[in-house]
Amino acid sequence: MRWRAAGAASVGTAEIDGRKVVLVKPMTFMNVSGDAVAPLFRKLADGPEDLLVLHDDLDLPFGAVRLKRGGGTGGHNGLRSLKERLGTAGFLRIRVGIGRPPAGIDPADYVLDPPGPGLRGAFEAAVAAAGEAFADIAGLGFDKAMTRWNAKSRGEDQHGTAPPGSPGGNILLAPGASSGGSISRKEARSQDDTEEV
C-alpha cells in the first residue's frame, strides 16, 4: 500500500472483502490526534460508526483484543482528543490490552517503554490479532465481529492463555486500523478525563 500525506496525517487506501477502506496514521502527538483525524472524518464519513480507532488499553489484560462501540475515554488522551474534535465518542474501537504497569511504575512511562525482551513477540502477536479483528469487521460487520472477538478474548482471560505480564509499548491509534501517532511523557500523564472505557 502506498501512503500519502493528508494534512497532519498519513493516509492509505485498501480494499477488504470488496469494501474500500481508508487507513489513517495521525502524525501529531497522541494528545492532539483529533486534529489529524477530524478533517478526514468530516470529508469521508457519514457518522461516527464510519470511524474505527485502534488503541492500547491499560485496563485490558496484556494481549487481549476486544471491540467496543462508543463509550468514554478512560483517561486515554488520544481518545479524548478525538471526542473533543469530532464532537462525539460514538466511534468504533479495537482495544489492544497492555495491562497495568508493575507497582511503582508511572503509567506514562510504562506506555512509552518498549516491551521487555520476553514479551516482544507476544506484543506483536496482539497487534497482528487486532489486524485480524479489523478484517473481520470489514467482512462480517461490527456487531458480529465484536461478538466473536470479545468472546474469544474472555475465554483466553479465563483459561490463562493470554500472555502474562505487561508489554509497555507505544500507544497505538489508527482510525482505519493502522498504528501511528506519538506521545510525550507529559501528555501521557494527563488524567483529566477518567470516564470508564
Q: Are 92 and 67 in contact (CB under 8 A)?
A: yes
Domains and CATH numbers, the chain: 4-185 (3.40.50.1470)
Task: Give the tens place of pLDDT for each residue, 18-75.
Answer: 788 899 999 999 889 999 999 999 999 999 999 999 999 999 988 889 999 999 998 8
Question: For residue range 175-190, what is the model confidence (pLDDT) as tens digits?
Answer: 333 333 333 333 344 4
- Distance between CA 2 and CA 15 in Å, rounded? 13
**Of 38-42, 111-115, 122-126, which gets the smallest average pLDDT?**
111-115
CB 93 within 8 A of CB 172: no
Distance CA 76, CA 142 (A): 22
- Torsion from C-alpha of 42, 54, 140, 63, nearest 10 degrees: -170
Please compute the mean of the pLDDT values over residues 143-162 and round it to a whole number: 73
Q: What is the pTM of this model?
A: 0.76
Q: What is the pLDDT of residue 47?
A: 93
Give the pLDDT score at 187. Answer: 39
CA neighbor of 142 nearest in space, from 53, 67, 57: 67
Pairing of strands 92-97, 52-57: parallel
pLDDT of residue 173: 34
| Percentage of the chain modeled with pLDDT above 90 | 47
